[in-house]
Structure 1
Amino acid sequence: MKFGVSTFVTDDGIGPAALGRALEERGFGSLFLAEHTHIPVKRESPWPGGAELPRMYYRTLDPFVVLSAVASVTERLRLGTGIALIVQRDPIVLAKEVASLDLISGGRAVLGVGAGWNREEMRNHGTEPKTRMRLLRERVLAIKELWTKDEAEFHGEFVDFDPVFSYPKPVQDPHPPVLIGGAGPTTPDRVVEFGDGWMPIYGRGTDALAAQIADIRDRAGRPVPVTVFGVPRSPQAVAELEAAGVDEILFNLNTEPEEATLRRLDKLAELF
């Protein structure tokens, strides 16, 4: 089983280069970053994690800028989003960003995607919350066309463009893996149809994880990789996830200054 971290990189925590070096030096295999373009001051959408929205949500750096900086100081670390709010991003621009990251990193990019929970945030991007899942589907499919076709085109309900040239192409063949976030009742449908893996959050809809994984793999007819992010520092959690058939664990890494982060990484590394 592989081990990495999931975290928020902000303007008041450890810097990207220092974080990337520290992870690779300690043997971690991946870094997955959360994103929020902004947080509306007036917000009615409840945060799924509790009553109070943590400070780090307000202060995230752009994940692709951070991952590019990390790529420049590492050689093996897989570089992912956990998750990219694809319903708030232009698919043509996003396809180029991820392909560029894959190129400069030598084929280490991973695109974790989701539709998000903050309805006010997505409305500021012109996204209607009620149709965000259909939008997510089309944007993923369009991005894969842009990655894999010399003259890519897509004609859907929300995404529509005639043949275009879009470069660079990714290094990975056929393209960087797209991991579908979430654990709702319709998530398996999305994983099976257009995902390259599943990435649920630990403790949110994962009570019957072994059965869920078996069902997805059976329906897909292939060994769908499963990455669980937001995992606490717990030997019991690691053992449970391994027994359930999880391929990769992403430990939750608090957003802290460099010295505190390095101490925390030392403790996390003891688990594997």
Structure 2
Amino acid sequence: MKMGVSVPLTAASGDPGAIAHEAENLGFESIWSVEHSCVPSSYTTHYPRSADGKVPAMYAQLAETWVMLAIAAAATKQIKLGTGVLLLAQHNVIETARAAATLDLYSGGRLILGVGAGWFREEAEVMGVRFEQRWKQLRESVEALRILWTQEEARYAGDIIKFPALRVGPKPVQKPCPPILLGAHDPKYALRRVARYADGWMPGGLSPDKAMEFIPQIKRMAREYGRDPGQLQFSVALATRGDEPTADTLKRYQSAGVSRIIVMATAAASGDGVEAIRAIAPLVERAAKV
């Protein structure tokens, strides 16, 4: 079982390069950014993971994804560099294609692009996204990224994303392009979205039992779309609680078809990121035995 670490990087966390270097030394397979563009001062969105429904103040302090990962890439040699997740609809797709390909090029093909549509209406609207259309915009953006990465003369004409024939570089090292994993949680919609256009799934908090239930459904739907289900990657992002995930939990995830667990180094948001990584390092050895 591969073990990744998600780092909510803020000004309090310390040097991203030092954090990534320590994660690599400790044996983590991948390091993942955490993104929010902004937190509007006034909003009505209810955040279900806090007691008062308020969006954590830390979300307004998160470092910019591409800068963080570029610094991490320069300080490491082999650890994978993941966006977990990039709120893709909030980004210009051509600029994203260039940033992602540049990182993949200079890191030697280490990028994993985790993308999501976002749940925070007010944030999305500030960033120019029509909230009700965010999933369509995400899908079109994913399709456009692959065209921009693989075609010398790229064009795309969707309902939301449109650009004429153009040339843009660099191209990524990974061929045909870096894997795009979908961070989506609601099984009513997420399973088919993954099957239709993603290279894998990376939900947060999915239980082993639910993974056992949903992964075969995604693979079946992928076949219906004419895709090879054996090429799909399945990761699960987890908050560490007590001794979880235990060795038994990791084995259950593996049996369900999950190949990577991404644990959150939550303490990095408010303090030393290197120490936050070290505190959860025993999970690497535990995962290696599964």
Q: What's the offset of the Cα at 1:47?
A: 1.9
Alignment-mate amino acid for residue 85 of structure 2: I
Tell me if 1:234 matches 2:245. Answer: yes
Instruction: Give the Cα separation in 1 of the matches to 2:96 and 2:251.
Output: 36
Mapping of residues 10-49 of structure 1, within 5 Å? 10-49=10-49
User: TM-score under structure 1 normalisation?
Assistant: 0.94
Once the two structures are superposed, what CA deviation does each residue of 1:195-243 show, in whole Å capped at 9, x if it has no partner?
011110014x875211101111122131221011134242143233223
How far did residue 13 of structure 1 move? 1.2
1:63 alignment partner in structure 2: 65
- SS of the aligned residue for 1:100 comes to helix
Pick aligned residue for 1:257 from 272, 275, 284: 272
More helix by proportion, 1 or 2?
A: 2
Conserved 8 A contact 1:99-1:147: yes
For structure 2, list consecutive stretches of 5 or more residues without a partner in the other structure.
Answer: 224-228
Partner of 1:190: 193
> In structure 1, what residue type is equivalent to 2:259?
D
Name the residue aligned to 2:8.
8
Structure 1: stretches of 5+ with no match in the other structure: none
**How far, CA to CA, are the matches of 2:100 and 2:37 in structure 1?**
17
Query: Structure 1, residues 126-151: CA drift from partner, whole Å, max 9, x if none?
Result: 11111111111111111111001000
Matched residue count: 271
Letter of the 2:46 partner, please give it: P
8 Å CA contact 2:208–2:253 kept in 1: the answer is no
SS state of the match for residue 178, structure 2? coil
Cα 1:183–1:262, aligned 2, differ >3 Å: closer, same or farther?
A: closer
From 257, 273, 277, give the equivalent of 1:245: 257
- Paired residues for 1:143-162 under 5 Å: 143-162=145-164
Percent identity of paired positions between Structure 1 and Structure 2: 34
When the two chains are superposed, the root-mean-square deviation of aligned CA atoms in Å is 1.7
Retained in 2: the 8 A contact 1:142–1:154?
yes
